Amino acid sequence: MFGAIVGSFLNVVAIRYNTGTGLRGRSQCLSCTRRLGALQLIPVVSFIALRGRCHSCKSAISFQYPLVEAITALTFLGTYSLMIGGALTPYMSILMVIAFSLMIVITVYDLRHQIIPNMIVYLLLTVGIIRVALAFHGGEEVAARVVAAFSIAIVFALLWLFSKGQWMGLGDAKLVLALALLLPYPDNLEAVMLAFWTGALVGLALVAIGKLRSRGRLTIESEIPFAPFLILGFYIAFFVPLPILPL
């Protein structure tokens, strides 16, 4: 329940970020601008009860809202389960739910605008640095984690530089550094590999769908945001460790 409530707030952050409206003020319908009441703001439940439409103007409500709320709820539940199982300390669990919350905002914003918000990435990078400091204080091996993180980020930055932003954005390099610092080695390398694999599969699938529909809207040259795939790779490596690399 707490995760779903936080997810509702993350929707607000992702939608209002860089719009000049700030986070203050009541939520309202984006079509008729009517303010929403408390019963219309219950995470997931209100969307289902309203059948995905505004109570006043009957315009469709984006499926983004319940999806983000549900994903955040499941993320918080999964992190709590790891803490109960002893894989995470309570302090580390708090740090990770903060990191996941920032990742969700980045994902939504990148999908909507095809740009990674710098300020949110810097906050996530700060969380990554704190994670490394806690790992070092706890006696964990951090040298390999840090070297791998910066190596991956440098590769991404070089891809951005040589392609002049055509293959990769500089924001992806900043994001991958933050994500790689949050994971131990070699999990951070595996997360990046998973990101490329899932990105390639989804990209090819979307191109195939576009060809079948003969609309010509999506081709192999079309821009597909990569940040969501990087974060998806992180999710998989964090919650479902896969021994991809023989290390």
Domain assignment of residue 12, given as a range: 1-64
DSSP helix/strand/coil, 13: helix
Q: Tokens 């060809």 sit at which residue?
A: 211
Omega before residue 186 within 30° of 0, cis: yes
Domain presence at residue 101: no
- Please state the domain count of the chain: 1
CA distances from 147 to 94, 144, 152, 191 (A): 25, 5, 9, 15
Domain presence at residue 26: yes
Number of neighbouring beta carbons within 10 Å of residue 47: 20
Omega before residue 246 within 30° of 0, cis: no
What ranges in 138-186 are assigned the alpha helix state H? 143-163, 170-182
Domain presence at residue 1: yes
Domain presence at residue 34: yes
Longest CA pairwise span in the chain (Å): 58
Rounded Cα distance between 99 and 106, Å, is 11
Closest Cα partner for 44 from 23, 16, 73?
A: 73
pLDDT at 215: 54
Domain presence at residue 55: yes
pLDDT at 57: 80
pLDDT at 210: 63
Domain presence at residue 21: yes
In sequence order, what are the residues at sequence separation of 6 or more whose Cβ sits closer than 8 angstroms to the Cβ of residue 13?
A: 23, 105
Domain presence at residue 39: yes
DSSP helix/strand/coil, 41: coil
pLDDT at 157: 94
Domain presence at residue 60: yes
Q: What is the pLDDT along the chain (247 residues), one digit of tens a residue?
A: 999 999 999 999 998 888 777 766 677 766 676 777 777 778 888 888 888 887 778 788 888 999 999 999 999 999 999 999 988 899 999 999 999 999 999 999 999 998 999 999 999 999 999 999 988 887 778 899 999 999 999 999 999 999 887 778 899 999 999 999 999 988 999 999 999 888 888 877 776 776 555 555 554 445 678 899 999 999 999 998 777 666 5
Question: What is the crossing angle of helices 64-84 and 90-113, to 10°?
Answer: 160
pLDDT at 221: 45
Q: Render pLDDT for 15-29 as a digit per residue (tens, 0 to 9).
A: 888 877 776 667 776
pLDDT at 223: 64
Instruction: Give phi and psi for 49, each to the nearest 5.
Output: -65, -35
Q: Are 232 and 194 in contact (CB under 8 A)?
A: yes
DSSP helix/strand/coil, 185: coil
pLDDT at 29: 67
